[in-house]
Structure 1
Amino acid sequence: MNRLSFGWTLPAYSVLLYAFLYLPIVVIVLFAFDAKAIPGLPIDAFTTDWFSASLGDTRLVGSLLTSIRLALMAAVLSTALAMPAAMVLAWRPVRMKSLVLCLVLGPVVLPQLVLGLGLVVLFRAAPDLIGAPAIVLAHTTMTSSYATLMLYSRFLGFRRSYIEAAMNLGADEFTTFREVVLPLVAPSLIAVLLLAFTDAFGEFVVAWFLAGFTETLPIAIWTSLRQVISPKIYALSALVILVTLFVSVSAQVWILGQSRRECES
């Protein structure tokens, strides 16, 4: 009897946990279809007009495109910086490696409020960078930390025999990296790139400190929270959620396919 009750308790707890995590997302998507000018429960009628209205709002669309552009730049830079750092940490003898890994983890552990304040003081020496360049540099600093740690764990399990075999067959270092190393770590690179992009896209605190006259989507949403939240915010957020879920699922399916091919080979 105890085993039976425990068997039901754990699945029920899991269902409640995930329901709690995804309930805010469901509410946002639901309110995006509310016909009222001020969305709220109960919903009397549904409409899709807010989606076209949000896409027609030049301020919202402009902030969305700004967030996408800056997050993409930060994700590419952080991945490019993290890969050689992870290779050195995983494949080369490094003195006091534990301390180095702790320092790499620093920007992630440090509160964003403190990090944003420190970056504001730092960029006072270069005030021309305040705005988009400062946001990109800050997000690169933040996302490159866990990108390095994720790729470090991947390179620890990398079979060095593949590299040795390629070089024994006459391939130089660049060819070996391009034809052997890069294809095998491509799933991890895609995962790191997507995670860094997602984190930089939704980051608000540090961007608020360094934005200047640059308005990202989180800043635009925060500004609208001072007044009545427009249904266009819900509609645009619902579109971002749906696109993000589609990209995440597609990337996960691709990564699983690549992993299976690697195991079969």
Structure 2
Amino acid sequence: MVRLMPRKGERGNALLVLYSALIYLFLYLPIAVIILFAFDAKPIPGLPLNGLTTSWFAEALRDEKLVGSLLTSLRLAVISAALSTALALPAAMVLAWLPIRFKSLVMSMVLGPVVLPQLVLGLGLVILLRAAPDMVGEPAIILAHTTITSSYATLILYSRFLGFRRSYIEAAMNLGASEFTVFREIVLPLIRPALISVFMLAFTDAFGEFVVAWFVAGFTETLPITIWTSLRQVISPKVYALSSVIIIVTLLLSLVSQLWVIRQTRLTSKAPSA
């Protein structure tokens, strides 16, 4: 006899699939709209589309203000991500491997910049920079982004070091390796996937951060500040075109990095245990 009514488990799976599809639609529909408007032939993008063109991409590349703010954001994001990763690495090692009194209090302080609203953090940095007004601009943006990103970078690396096999280090030191050699030849290769993930996350967050940067930027214009300035007027299709390029490149880099991290993690997990 043919079963007409789906089983309870099947209905639950169907609802789960529908719920997941709605979540992804909510997340990616605005991105799809940005990419669609980048090809709109009208000077003021909107539905319905009167035609498709790729001329706005060339116009965006010829816009010195947009390209200049993009290069500024890239440079500051790379510096901030590198600093936050470099600061998070020793901090995570100490928190994971050494006995520390009031460790929960220390972890709460590490979480501070993440938990605090960015508005409060921006106001605090403004007050702090009154004592050093020469830092307003790019140095202040780097300081702010490093403060924010180093917090969750430390937490990610901390979780990685908790699962680190200390027997590798002990075996290498028993064979006569120095601490620096152990760190270079054992620790760094094993945590390289986590380091790359942390750097990519820190770079992405610093590249797109607006609120704190707006408080301390001074006359420096990052790409988010430039886009926000254009929002106060009519949004140029050039902004959509440049945003589309950034979105596509970011998604591709994220996909490639995740595939690389998964591959490296599998290779590490297949290594013989000591």
Q: Same fold (TM over 0.5)?
A: yes
Q: Is 1:165 paired with 2:171?
A: yes
Q: TM-score, normalised by structure 1?
A: 0.99
Q: Is 1:156 paired with 2:155?
A: no
- Residue aligned with 2:213, SS: helix
**Aligned equivalents of 1:236, 1:4: Cα separation in 2:** 44
**Aligned equivalents of 2:157, 2:227: Cα separation in 1:** 33
Report matched runs for 1:1-265 at 5 Å.
Answer: 1-265=7-271
**Aligned equivalents of 1:259, 1:36: Cα separation in 2:** 48
**Aligned equivalents of 1:49, 1:221: Cα separation in 2:** 19
- Segments of structure 2 that go 5 or more residues without pairing to the other structure are 1-6
Any idea what the Cα deviations from partners look like across 1:193-234, whole Å, max 9, x if unmatched? 000000000000000000001000000000000110000000
- Residue aligned with 1:105, SS: helix
**Aligned equivalents of 1:41, 1:8: Cα separation in 2:** 33
Larger Rg: 2
Any idea what the Cα deviations from partners look like across 1:60-89, whole Å, max 9, x if unmatched? 000000000001100000000000000000
Percent identity over the alignment is 70
1:13 maps to a residue whose letter is Y
**Aligned equivalents of 1:7, 1:118: Cα separation in 2:** 48
Deviation at 1:253, TM superposition (A): 1.0
Deviation at 1:260, TM superposition (A): 1.2
**Aligned equivalents of 2:8, 2:259: Cα separation in 1:** 39
1:32 maps to a residue whose letter is A
Deviation at 1:242, TM superposition (A): 0.6
Any idea what the Cα deviations from partners look like across 1:160-179, whole Å, max 9, x if unmatched? 00001111111100000000
**Aligned equivalents of 1:7, 1:101: Cα separation in 2:** 39
Deviation at 1:98, TM superposition (A): 0.7
**Aligned equivalents of 2:153, 2:121: Cα separation in 1:** 18
**Aligned equivalents of 1:120, 1:37: Cα separation in 2:** 38
**Aligned equivalents of 1:219, 1:133: Cα separation in 2:** 16
RMSD of Structure 2 on Structure 1 (CA): 0.7
**Aligned equivalents of 2:210, 2:24: Cα separation in 1:** 25
Deviation at 1:43, TM superposition (A): 1.1
Any idea what the Cα deviations from partners look like across 1:115-145, whole Å, max 9, x if unmatched? 0000000000000000000000010000000
- Segments of structure 1 that go 5 or more residues without pairing to the other structure are none
- Residue aligned with 1:88, SS: helix
Deviation at 1:257, TM superposition (A): 1.0
**Aligned equivalents of 1:212, 1:175: Cα separation in 2:** 44
Residue aligning to 2:3: none
Deviation at 1:6, TM superposition (A): 1.6
**Aligned equivalents of 1:157, 1:3: Cα separation in 2:** 36
